[in-house]
Chains A and B, each alone.
Chain A
């Protein structure tokens, strides 16, 4: 694409030079009619050049948009994006949020259910151990012993029911972790899409750059100022968990570093 446009540019410049030489000759020879014809040729050639370049760019732009994984229905106002890969990716990511939330809730449900069982069994075992110690020290009356005898019976029953329930919950908690596999597959698919979109975006940006080149547009100072603004804003903008925190100087990697930073600020 870039090479093609450069070719057009080169041809145009060569023609321009040729005409300019001829024009000087004609003017020196006082051949004004031919000179004016030449000027017309130059103007025509310049228009031709711009048309060709714009045509090439438009075709490139069209291809890039078609490749862009977005189906925009322009007949609607505002345009609706439907059935596109991007739309599909949003659905997939929402699915990840949904399924991870469900897994987290079910896991917590199971822990909430298991915790009192474990606590009750522990408390009863503690009491029985103290009673058992009294029995071993022969400090127990026959009546107390009969009570202990029944209580141990009851406790063994509770143990069987309780540990069965606990085992079941543990197993269910493990099963709940299956979300990792499902979300992993979805996320990998979305990552692939993002890579494709990035590639297409880069070619779009390159083409936009060429439009600026051919038409001589583009306010550099303004653009730089705008970029700076975005950069400053990004410093404190919320973005969720930081990636590669350990390698980044502007990010803390642990709670200890947060505490250090805060204490250096007088906290």
Chain B
């Protein structure tokens, strides 16, 4: 796994972005960037050769699930690994995210261990 890969963290709460950023740094990933909703994230993704997307679901503007769908629909971004980190925990939502092509799903509040496991699993698969 390339520890220097470019990661985009999307969450509307700056504290949550900071928590995720810190956890990623502890895991050795320090090339992280931030956006506060899907609308800001999408143009960044389109222009920015990101290799990994970590996104919340519930955000004003454009939600994480819509961002995921937009990413999968975009020719250039369609294979970008996406990890959803969210408080949304309804079965129908998880199924919707899975069908939309999410690569991992972590429910908040989460542990550093859970985040690490999901990231490892995603990159084991993606290679």
Contact = CB atoms under 8 A, between A and B. Distances in A.
B90 A262 contact: no
Interface stretch (A23-31, A59-67, A76-84, A248-256): A248-256
A254 B58 CA distance: 18
Interface in A225-258: 235-236, 238-242, 245, 250-255, 258
Given A241-B108, A255-B106, A250 B91 contact: yes
Interface residue tally of chain A, by bracket? 20 to 34
A250 B94 CA distance: 11
A240 B94 contact: no
A261 B92 CA distance: 10
A107 to B, nearest CB: 9
A251 B90 contact: yes
Contacts of A108: 15, 18-19, 22
A236 B92 contact: yes
B9 to A, nearest CB: 15
B88 A238 contact: yes
B27 interface: no
Interface of B: 13-15, 18-19, 22, 57-58, 63, 65, 87-96, 98, 105-108, 110, 114
Given A236-B90, A242-B87, 17 more contacts: A105-B14, A105-B18, A236-B65, A236-B96, A240-B58, A241-B87, A242-B88, A245-B89, A251-B89, A251-B90, A252-B89, A252-B90, A252-B94, A255-B107, A258-B107, A261-B91, A261-B94
Interface of A: 101, 104-105, 108, 112, 235-236, 238-242, 245, 250-255, 258, 261-262, 265, 267
28 contacts: A101-B15, A105-B15, A108-B18, A108-B19, A235-B92, A235-B93, A236-B90, A236-B92, A236-B96, A238-B58, A240-B88, A242-B89, A245-B89, A250-B90, A250-B91, A250-B92, A251-B89, A251-B90, A252-B89, A252-B91, A253-B89, A254-B107, A255-B106, A255-B107, A261-B95, A262-B94, A262-B105, A265-B98
